[in-house]
Amino acid sequence: MSSPHSLDAIFKPSSIAVIGASPRRGTIGHELLDNLIRYGFNGMVFPVNPKHKFIKSIKCHPTVSSIVDPVDLAIIIVPKEHVLGVAEECGERGVKGLVIISAGFREVGGEGVKREKALLALKEKYGFRIVGPNCMGVINAEENVRMNATFAPLEPKSGSMAFMTQSGALGVAILLAVARLDLGLSYFVSVGNKLDIAGNDLLEYWDKDENTKIIALYLESFGEPRRFTQLSKKITKRKPIILVKSGTTAAGARAASSHTGHLAGLEIAVDALLHQCGVIRVSTIQEMMDVVLAFSKNPMPRGGRIGVLTNAGGPAIMATDRLVNEDLALATLSDKTQTKLRSFLPEESSVRNPVDMIASAGADEYGRALDIMLADDAVDAVIAIFVPPIMVEPGEVVKKITEATRKYDKPVFSVVMAEEKFYEEIPRRFKDAPPVYRFPESAVRALAAMDRQRKWVEQPEGQVKTFEPEDPSVRGMVKEAVASGGGYMPPDQVNRILASYGFPVCRLRFLPADGDVLQATADVGYPLVLKVFGRNITHKSDIGGVVTGIKNQDMLARAHTDMQEKLERAGVSREVEGFLVQEMAQEGKEVIFGMTTDPKFGPVLMFGMGGKYVEIIKDIAFRVMPVTDIDAREMVRSIKSYPLLEGVRGDERVDIEFIEESIQRLAQMVSDWPEILELDMNPVMVTPDRSACRVVDARIRISSGEELPGR
């Protein structure tokens, strides 16, 4: 890093004051100071504590002001009542970074919240940066810094993985797991209450850090999802970001009166966002370890064709099933490869992928077979599974696997089902072995994560298409709707907004409940559709409120009378605000476009198979903003029914480009108008011919102005 960064004061200090250092073993003030010294911090360390003349043979200062040398970083471990005083003194003294371990802030509420606000004011006044409060410290394992300012009982190895955790307790667990796997760290940061420095700052910092090749995050909440999106979209193209997200998004009361609102669960926005940013999401710390192990020990795969090598059938079948589920393919081994394998393997073995060498295979067979498989151009990666028979020592097999792997630049995932003792020995015994997993599913998960990263890096960056609304007068209409308390817009207004953004709406006449429907047919034309309208009527067809295929006046009059009777019987007459006479659309595939607003993530767009059964079939996909052309493309292709749109059983392909464009038009519309809280277009009839596609039913809910999320 060339130009100095404000986080350098935290991560690359020349001198550190440990305020609240203690000679008493087992206290944080002792363990942290001890870690700094034992880890070999490449700079000066000043214990600060008025009660002691020296601690661990080092001169101890009564206050930070009494230190003559400059102090870059202060680690604060004093009781909560003293934190503000100490921070003020640090500010006066020109300290540029604070790591506040002390707890008793926002997390305890009441006084703690006030204390945290006061701390923020001090940060503004003095301009120092803060990690914490309520955290377990920071590590920079880079050889020329070697700062372990945590109280974890560990000596992390220097390496290429940067780790951030929002939970201190899990931080210790993560450090232990990293040590057990003998993985190297570049940075470790426990961010605590994230008063100042949070995930986004660290992402930015680590992006520029040459030592950091992998970024792992344990998050409980998103601070600024928008900035996270911008940053991570770029960073993930260069370095994988692996994230465990626990907890749910702000549990803002979600109105579920629309299809989209109903279908969008709390975690939908998070999932969509991470997917769109190329972030690898895992659900447990164990999974995270499986994945970071793979990225640390393996080269990137160049394709998704996988070879499986085994000495037992069961685990290979498991691995193969998982591979297929993860969108990976079993490699087709060349004839040459198969002949070579056949030349030394027993007759009962299978030389087609998965290559099953049967239980008699020993270490040499593993080495030879793996070598042959990796040499095959049709193989991008190999999963080598070994279930130890009585006579074979798993260590010998790992040795041979390592030798073969080293000759090629391809990832290998070994699965060894052995005794506990064996795994403990791996880091020391097999330094440059490919990653070893206990179960096939862990290996496949890690492989799938690497493959996803490969695809993400290869995929071009998408473009956000812009569309100008055609009819600027709709702006006044939306503003008026907000002014009059928001809620669902009448259908003719919905039509105008949609048409203005280029959606093909149906010709429509809206009549009050006592209006004469027969008078309304002139500008619509036969065949037509008669529908009931009421803001509180969500599913019109459920109560007999939709009649399609009306060909003439007689039919219309009859349909109208019948409908009124049915509505009466259903007991909804009082909800009826009017009737719609609507152009009848050509038959097509019914799809849904929707939008709902997440209190934190903003608009969430939905696309899927539409019609009456959306909630039951749930074949839908979500995206958050911004939505690029690539997102739109992927969104359409990600639903299960996509082949129906491509055309099956003699059906013609519908205009898929129309669908993609509609998603982007919708994105433009909702980003232009934050006043739109929820929207459903269900169904939109899509046909092979774009000019026949129609939005046949749409609802738009406008904000009353109060629930407007800060966009």
Q: Which residues would be at the binding site for ligand ADP (CB under 6 A)?
A: 506, 529, 531, 539-541, 546, 548, 582, 584-585, 590, 611-612, 682-683, 696-697
CA angle 636, 622, 442 (to 5 degrees): 95
Give the residue with the Cβ less far from ligand ADP, 64 or 517: 517
Please give the order of strands across the beta sheet that includes 214-219: 147-150, 137-140, 184-190, 157-165, 214-219, 241-245, 280-282
582 binds Mg ion (CB under 5 A): no
Q: Are 598 and 670 in contact (CB under 8 A)?
A: no
Q: What is the DSSP secondary structure assignment for residue 575, as one 8-state letter?
A: G
Q: Which of Mg ion, ligand ADP, none does residue 353 bind (CB under 5 to 8 Å by kind)?
A: none
- 193 contacts Mg ion (rule: CB under 5 A): no
Contact call for residues 623 and 629 (beta carbons, < 8 A) = no
Cα–Cα distance, 453 to 457 (Å, whole number): 6
Residue 528: how many CA atoms within 13 Å on its side-chain side?
A: 28
Please report whether residue 287 would count as binding Mg ion according to CB under 5 A: no
Question: Which of Mg ion, ligand ADP, none sits in contact with 590, Cβ below 5 to 8 A by type?
Answer: ligand ADP
Six token digits for residue 672: 């232009």
Least distance between Mg ion and beta carbon 697 (Å): 4
Answer with the entry of Mg ion, ligand ADP, none that 132 interacts with (C-beta below 5 to 8 A by kind): none
Helices marked H in 484-619 — which ranges? 491-500, 553-569, 614-617
349 binding partner (options Mg ion, ligand ADP, none; Cβ < 5 to 8 Å by kind): none
- Phi first, then psi, for residue 74 (nearest 5°) are -115, 130
Pick from Mg ion, ligand ADP, none: which does 548 bind, CB < 5 to 8 A by kind?
ligand ADP
682 near Mg ion, rule: CB under 5 A: yes
**Count of residues touching Mg ion (by CB under 5 A):** 2
Least separation in angstroms between residue 486's CB and ligand ADP is 21
Give the number of other Cβ atoms within 10 Å of residue 586's Cβ: 11
Segment contacting Mg ion (CB under 5 A): 75-83, 385-393, 567-575, 682-690? 682-690
Q: How far is CA 557 from the centre of its chain?
A: 54
Copy the structure tokens of residue 62.
């009564």
Which of the choices Mg ion, ligand ADP, none does residue 546 contact, using the CB cut-off of 5 to 8 A by kind? ligand ADP
Q: Are 19 and 100 in contact (CB under 8 A)?
A: no
**Among ligand ADP, Mg ion, none, what binds residue 506 when CB lies within 5 to 8 Å by partner kind?**
ligand ADP
The dihedrals phi and psi of 160, each to the nearest 5 degrees, come to -120, 10
Nearer to ligand ADP, 316 or 580 (CB): 580
**For ligand ADP, which is the closer residue by CB, 370 or 696?**
696
Q: Among residues 297 and 694, whose Cβ is nearest to ligand ADP?
A: 694
Nearer to Mg ion, 8 or 697 (CB): 697
Q: Return the one option of Mg ion, ligand ADP, none that residue 627 interacts with (CB less than 5 to 8 A, by type).
A: none
Which partner from the list ligand ADP, Mg ion, none does 539 bind, CB cut-off 5 to 8 Å by kind?
ligand ADP
Measure the CA–CA gap between 86 and 76, rounded to whole angstroms.
8
Quick one: 150 or 687, whose CB is closer to Mg ion? Answer: 687
CB of 668 to ligand ADP, least distance (A): 24
Provide, rounded to whole angstroms, the least separation between the CB of residue 97 and Mg ion.
57
Which residue has the closest beta carbon to Mg ion? 697
CB of 657 to ligand ADP, least distance (A): 22
- Compute the least distance from the CB of residue 547 to ligand ADP, in Å: 9
- Nearer to Mg ion among residue 200 and residue 682 (C-beta): 682
Binding partner of residue 244 among Mg ion, ligand ADP, none, CB under 5 to 8 Å per kind?
none
- What CA–CA distances, in Å, run from 537 to 533, 542, 545, 574, 600? 7, 10, 9, 11, 29
Contact partner at residue 585 from Mg ion, ligand ADP, none, CB < 5 to 8 Å by partner kind:
ligand ADP
User: Cis (ω within 30 of 0) for the bond into 626?
Assistant: yes
Give the pair of three-digit tokens for residue 428.
């020391």
| Closest CB 212 distance from Mg ion, rounded Å | 50
Alpha carbon distance 54, 56 (integer Å): 7
Q: Should residue 619 be labelled a site residue for Mg ion when binding is judged by CB under 5 A?
A: no
Q: Is 461 helix (H, G, I), strand (E, B) or coil?
A: coil
Among 207, 563, 697, 702, the residue binding Mg ion under the rule CB under 5 A is 697
Q: CB–CB of 215/236 below 8 Å?
A: no
What are the tokens at 217? 């995050």
Q: How far apart are CA 77 and CA 202, in angstroms?
A: 22
Least gap, CB of 156 to ligand ADP (angstroms): 58
CA gap 352, 148 in Å, rounded: 51
Q: Assess contact for 467 and 500: CB atoms under 8 A.
A: no
| Residue 636 contacts residue 660 (beta carbons within 8 Å) | yes
Choice between 33 and 592, CB closer to ligand ADP: 592
Pick 332 or 548: Cβ nearer ligand ADP: 548
Q: How far apart are CA 617 and CA 683, in angstroms?
A: 14
CB of 502 to ligand ADP, least distance (A): 19
CB of 580 to ligand ADP, least distance (A): 9
Residues of the shown chain interacting with Mg ion in the complex, contacts defined by CB under 5 A: 682, 697
